[in-house]
Structure 1
Amino acid sequence: MGRWAVYRLLRRLTSLSTPSSIPPPFSSIRFSLLCSSSDPNTLLFQRFRPFSSAPSSSYAALAHDYDYGFRDFSQNYVDDNQDFQSHPDGVEEGDVSKIPVKAFFLSTSINLRSMQAENSGNVVPPTSRTSNYVTLRFFDIPSEMIGMNVENNVICNRYMVVFQYGSAVLFNVEDHEVDFFLNIARRHASGLLSEMKKDDYMVKEKATLAEDMQGGADYIVLRHLDTDGIRIIGSVLGQSIALDYYVSQVDDMVEEFADINRAMEKTGTFTMRRKKLFQLVGKANSNLADIILKVGLFDRSEIAWREAKYAEINEYLREEYEVTQRFGNLDIKLKFVEHNIHFLQEVLQNRRSDLLEWCIIILLSIENVISICEIIRDSAAGSV
Structure 2
Amino acid sequence: MASPFQEEYTVSIDKQTLKPTVTSSSLLLPEHYNEVLAIRLAMLNTGQSVALDYYQQLTYQALNETHKYTEQMEKQGKVNASKRNLLRFIGRSMNIKNSVVDNLYILDDPGIVWDDPELDRINKGLKDTFDIQLRFRDLDFKLRIIQDNLKLFTDLLQHRESARLEWIIIILILIEVVNMFWREVL
In structure 2, stretches of 5+ residues that fail to align are none
Deviation, structure 1 residue 288? 2.1
Give the structure 2 partner of residue 303 of structure 1: 112
Task: Give 2:28's aligned residue.
Answer: 221
Q: How does 1:169-248 map to 2 (within 5 A)?
A: 195-210=3-18, 212-224=19-31, 226-248=35-57
Q: Trace 1:78-227 onto structure 2 (pairs within 5 A).
A: 195-210=3-18, 212-224=19-31, 226-227=35-36
Partner of 2:154: 345
Count matched residues.
184
SS in structure 2 at match of 1:221: strand
How far apart, in 1, do the equivalents of 2:24 and 2:156 lie?
50
Letter in 1 for 2:20: M
Structure 1 or 2: larger helix share? 2
Give yes or no for the alignment of 1:281 onto 2:90.
yes
Output one character per residue of 1:46-68: Cα deviation in whole Å (capped at 9) or x when no partner: xxxxxxxxxxxxxxxxxxxxxxx
Task: Give the Cα–Cα distance (whole angstroms) in 1 for the partners of residues 36 and 157 of structure 2.
Answer: 54
Instruction: Find the aligned partners of 1:216 and 1:298 in 2 and give their Cα distance.
Output: 22
- TM-score, structure 2 as length reference: 0.90
- Rounded to whole Å, the distance in 1 between the matches of 2:14 and 2:70 is 55
Q: Identify the range of structure 1 (305-314 vs 248-257) with the bigger mean alpha-carbon deviation.
A: 305-314
Q: Does 1:253 align with 2:50?
A: no
TM-score (norm 1): 0.45
Deviation at 1:194, TM superposition (A): 5.5
Q: What is the match of residue 83 of structure 1?
A: none
Does structure 1 residue 264 correspond to structure 2 residue 79? no
Cα distance in 2 for partners of 1:204, 1:321 equals: 18
State the Cα deviation string for residues 29-75 of structure 1 (Å, max 9, x = none).
xxxxxxxxxxxxxxxxxxxxxxxxxxxxxxxxxxxxxxxxxxxxxxx
* Bigger radius of gyration: 1
The alignment yields a C-alpha RMSD, in angstroms, of 1.8
- CA distance in 1: counterparts of 2:24 and 2:98, whole angstroms: 32
SS of the counterpart of 1:299? coil
The structure, 1 or 2, with the larger RCO (C-alpha pairs under 8 Å, 6+ apart) is 2
Verify: 1:313 aligned to 2:118, yes or no. Answer: no
Q: Which residue of 1 aligns with 2:178?
A: 369
Higher strand share: 1
Structure 2 residue corresponding to 1:328, chosen from 113, 137, 151 = 137
Is the CA contact (8 Å cut-off) linking 2:22 and 2:122 kept in structure 1? no
CA distance in 2, matches of 1:352, 1:292: 32
CA contact (8 A) 1:239 1:295 kept: yes
Q: Is the 8 A contact 1:206 1:222 kept in 2?
A: yes
Which residues of structure 1 form unaligned runs of 5+?
1-192, 378-384
**Deviation per residue, 1:17-39 (Å, 9 max, x gap):** xxxxxxxxxxxxxxxxxxxxxxx
Q: Is the 8 A contact 1:291 1:297 kept in 2?
A: no
8 Å Cα contact 1:203-1:219 kept in structure 2: yes
2:10 touches 2:26 (CA, 8 Å); kept in 1? yes
For 1:304 and 1:367, locate their aligned partners in 2 and report how far apart those are by CA, in whole Å.
75
**1:304-336 residue CA offsets vs partner (Å, 9 max, x unmatched):** 123222111111101111111111111111111
Question: Which residue identity does 1:322 align to in structure 2?
Answer: D
Deviations 1:223-252 (A, max 9, x none): 146211111110111111011101110110
Q: CA separation in 1, counterparts of 2:80 and 2:42?
A: 47
Task: After TM superposition, give the deviation of residue 299 of structure 1 in Å.
Answer: 2.7
